[in-house]
A and B are shown apart, each in its own frame.
Chain A
């Protein structure tokens, strides 16, 4: 079965010739009409539509967006803040960049609708420091929108007003974590906060109730407000509604970003039909389906079990190529949809070296606050690094596993999971390669193999 057509909702105008990121172009294409419609609605009604839509957060965890909003402490009398998480930093993910660069007003419209729905008067876009150009584009877009009365006081002649400001990060993956991001925005070291008691919905920015949503998620809100929650929920598959932007990188013919209805495309269709298959003369070896922290999948392995289709439970028996690219299916086979970053590795890649590359990233990005992560990510890096650069010892594979196994669930924030899942899954799927690595290392590298650490 060949791949379905892309369903470009959010990326509708990305790379469209003649489409520019200024307000005039956006308005020509019907921009801010949905905001106009929304401010005439009751805020609660918009929240209801988002709940009905079944929209799940696109940042990584796939948490229900409507549910997240409904957890907000609205009785405290304190202001409610929205923080737009544009700290896109999960390796393998590069969707927000294009929204910000090419269609910033789409994001702003989504933000304003979200703010109106949740009575937010002040929103921040936390954009990663490595997007200086993106930050400037957003600044300009906000200024345009403010001048046109889409942002700022009394928008569109209503009593409602909301400001949006840009806040630039400075090179810290941990700021993608909600509470680390909040600390960073408060001007402190971005150490994630301990939960309880610091759930952002209750004690977020400045100890006020706060929503933190991903860029892609907020763009979806605009389209939900447009088409209604019910219509949106019909896109994609039940429980995995809407579209998903899949970012493919690594060893495929056509890496890039593709927007599909969630769950309507399989990994095989994506990599072979959409991305043109492996590079000439190579074979797919492994793929990380949802950003570098997602557990790796090995081509050739099979996944069997029962899953719910409609009201029924049906058997499934999938190869990697057969897995539908949705939150639940990827979850069922032990990995995750995460941030939608698909990293493909072919048979030229040595998995020990690939893991050493990933471990160096996580050791560099650990905030250092809690023991298992600070010391554990360091040791995972040190052990894989000494495998590659020093004397690889056969027992190191077991040692590495024991380090990785003791991190998830023990840390203050989800970075613990993010940093240990690669090691756990690489060892589980490619254990032999780790055991044989002392021998592999002695042999010459295969032709075309690149240095990874």
Chain B
């Protein structure tokens, strides 16, 4: 079974989902990503789904979980590159994905991540505790 690679790019992690992912692979990715966020102390995660040809309720739930878990660990997630047909289908299916930040492509996603990370830092979420 092909493992989905997670790359470190600066203070961010980049996940490019390039296989037709089955459920077990999605769960493994969720675990791997959680481990890597802690290990690398990444402040943001970019998940590129531009080659993913369907997002069903299970994959939708995994994306939501990854966003929530990463947020709890003090990092942000942006999902980028959703294909138009996939976007139309998930809306019709009834998935809202409201808790996930999305962007059109990797460049716009990076820009959004930087904004989100700065915002969190200014709100003090990443500041060391001060007496």
Is A bound to B?
no
